[in-house]
């Protein structure tokens, strides 16, 4: 990174009077002269420069210095110009191989050197500008991606609201289910990102119910067999609504909608999947969804006490539910209790 205090040019020369070299550059350009390779490395450990001008001579291993400088990422865009003495062809080859931008052989023509120096400074600055533009672009792309992701999540939350309006029972159900899903995902050791995605997608598990008639959805008593069949369609309908979305989150929601009524023992619906044939997000949501349905009051039943619902999960672990998901849920039991206390499930339909 370039700092305001960085010199534009660092001249490395053993000349007792380096004035001839520094005069090559325009007045006002900050030039720093150092007498040894060690001093150059020291200065350029903390600073960047547009041009490093190295005058080779006895006691200064220019090739080694160039190689060391090129190892430093903050000097990647710096131009390095070597003023070579000795065997110019051999030196030129070695210096260029080490990473020099250009090599000028003695004797030096001052005006030629001044022009080259100016060009190399311009080159380094142009490269710096391109890099900073690339960084700005990358930041903008990142911001746009975050924005579109946030919009996607917003749309999902609104979809969830729409489902809630339709199904009076939903209420805080979806929020509590999402909270329980997070607890299970955490207990299973999934990453925070995975947990958040599954939790958000789980809020759409019953979205297919918007296709179920009010007379069934809001029926205050037990359902007849055909009504139950109609109700069961919500899993597949939810899947159909979401599955072909380009959005990864909505496809995840489709998978959950389709599989949240499957059972570990294969006795669930709609596909009768068994064990790990059921995608993990569906297995997680099944535990969270049933748990919350149990503790919620319905017109036909009071809400169960938490301990009773907990016992039910334990009893059904390995038959209805994935035992790992139940164990993960119970390992976060305190979080679950706190969540339910914060959003009590005592509303009747
Ligand atoms: Fe459902
Ligand atoms: Fe549900």
* Angle value at C-alpha 9, between 45 and 56, nearest 5 degrees: 85
Q: Is the pLDDT of residue 25 over 90?
A: no
Question: In this structure, what are the phi and psi dihedrals at residue 84, rounded to the nearest 5 degrees?
Answer: -100, 140
pLDDT at 241: 93
Q: How far is the CA of 74 from the centre of ligand 1 (A)?
A: 56
Q: Name the residue among 225, 222, 226, 254 with its Cα closest to residue 239.
A: 254
Quick one: DSSP state of residue 271? S
Identify which of 214, 193, 273, 196 has the alpha carbon closest to the alpha carbon of residue 239.
Answer: 273
How much is the pLDDT for 345?
A: 75
Alpha helices in 7-109 (DSSP H): 19-22, 37-46, 62-70, 88-98
pLDDT in tens, 230-243: 999 999 999 999 99
pTM for this prediction: 0.69
Say how many Å lie between the CA of residue 273 and the centre of ligand 2.
19
Q: Is the peptide bond before 270 cis (omega within 30 degrees of 0)?
A: yes
Q: Which residues pair with 80 in a beta bridge?
A: 52
What H or E segment, with its residue span, contains residue 185?
helix 173-187
Ligand number nearest CA of 207 is: 1
Distance 257 CA to ligand 2 centre (A): 10
Q: Which ligand sits closest to the CA of 163?
A: 2
**34: pLDDT confidence band, cut at 50, 70 and 90?**
very high
- 9-139: CATH topology is Rossmann fold (3.40.50)
Average pLDDT of the segment spanning 135-154: 93
Give the Å distances, CA to CA, from 50 to 14, 64, 76, 127, 268.
21, 20, 10, 10, 69
Question: pLDDT digit string (tens) for 251-297?
Answer: 999 999 999 999 999 999 999 999 999 999 999 999 999 999 999 98
Ligand nearest to the CA of 174: 2
Nearest ligand to the C-alpha of residue 256?
Answer: 1
Domains of the chain by residue range: 9-139, 167-342
Q: How many Å lie between the centroid of ligand 2 and the Cα of residue 192?
A: 23
What local confidence, expressed as pLDDT, does residue 168 receive? 60
Among all bound ligands, the one having the nearest atom to the CA of 285 is: 2
Ligand 1 geometric centre to CA of 149 (Å): 26
Q: Which ligand is nearest to the CA of 287?
A: 2
| Residue 258 alpha carbon to ligand 1 centre in Å | 9
Predicted pLDDT at 347: 46
Gap from CA of 170 to ligand 2 centroid (Å): 7
Residue range 167-342 in CATH 1.10.3210.10: yes
Residue 199 has a pLDDT of 96
pLDDT of residue 348: 38
Q: What is the CA radius of gyration of the chain?
A: 35
Two domains, one topology: 9-139 and 167-342: no
Quick one: which ligand is closest to 288's CA? Answer: 2
Ligand 1 centroid, distance to 265 Cα (angstroms): 18
Q: Is 195 exposed, middle or buried (0-12, 13-18, 19+ CB in 10 A)?
A: buried
How far away, in angstroms, is 293 Cα from ligand 2 center? Answer: 7
pLDDT digits (tens, 9 = 90+) for 100-143: 999 998 888 888 988 999 999 999 999 999 999 999 999 999 99
Q: Can you tell me the mean pLDDT for 38-67? A: 92
Residue 340: which residues within 8 A CB-CB, separation 6 or more?
Answer: 176, 295, 306
């Amino acid at each position: 990174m370039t700092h305001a205090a960085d010199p534009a040019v660092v001249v490395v020369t053993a000349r007792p009077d380096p004035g001839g070299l520094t005069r090559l550059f325009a007045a006002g350009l900050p030039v720093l002269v150092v007498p040894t390779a060690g001093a150059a490395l020291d200065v350029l450990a903390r600073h960047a420069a547009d041009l490093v001008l190295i005058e080779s001579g006895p006691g200064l291993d220019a090739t080694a210095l160039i190689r060391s400088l090129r190892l430093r990422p903050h000097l990647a865009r710096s131009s390095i110009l070597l003023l070579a003495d000795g065997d110019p062809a051999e030196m030129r080859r070695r210096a260029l191989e080490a990473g020099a931008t250009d090599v000028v052989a003695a004797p030096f023509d001052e005006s030629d050197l001044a022009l080259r120096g100016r060009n190399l400074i311009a080159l380094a600055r142009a490269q710096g500008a391109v890099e900073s533009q690339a960084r700005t672009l990358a930041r903008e792309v990142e911001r746009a991606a975050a924005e579109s992701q946030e919009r996607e999540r917003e749309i999902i939350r609104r979809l969830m609201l729409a489902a809630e309006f339709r199904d009076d029972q939903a209420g805080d159900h979806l929020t509590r289910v999402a909270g329980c899903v997070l607890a299970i995902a955490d207990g299973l050791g999934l990453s925070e990102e995975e947990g958040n995605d599954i939790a958000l997608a789980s809020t759409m598990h019953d979205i297919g119910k918007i296709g179920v008639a009010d007379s069934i959805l809001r029926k205050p008593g037990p359902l007849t067999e055909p009504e139950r069949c109609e109700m069961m369609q919500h899993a597949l309908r939810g899947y159909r609504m979401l599955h072909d979305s380009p959005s990864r989150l909505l496809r995840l929601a489709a998978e959950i909608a389709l599989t949240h009524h499957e059972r570990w023992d294969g006795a669930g619906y709609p596909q009768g999947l068994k064990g790990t044939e059921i995608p993990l997000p569906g297995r997680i949501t099944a535990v969270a969804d049933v748990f919350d349905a149990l503790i919620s009051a319905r017109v036909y039943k009071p809400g169960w006490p938490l301990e009773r619902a907990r016992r039910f999960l334990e009893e059904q672990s390995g038959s209805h539910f994935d035992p790992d998901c139940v164990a993960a849920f119970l390992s976060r039991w305190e979080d679950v209790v706190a969540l339910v206390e914060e959003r009590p499930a005592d509303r009747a339909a």
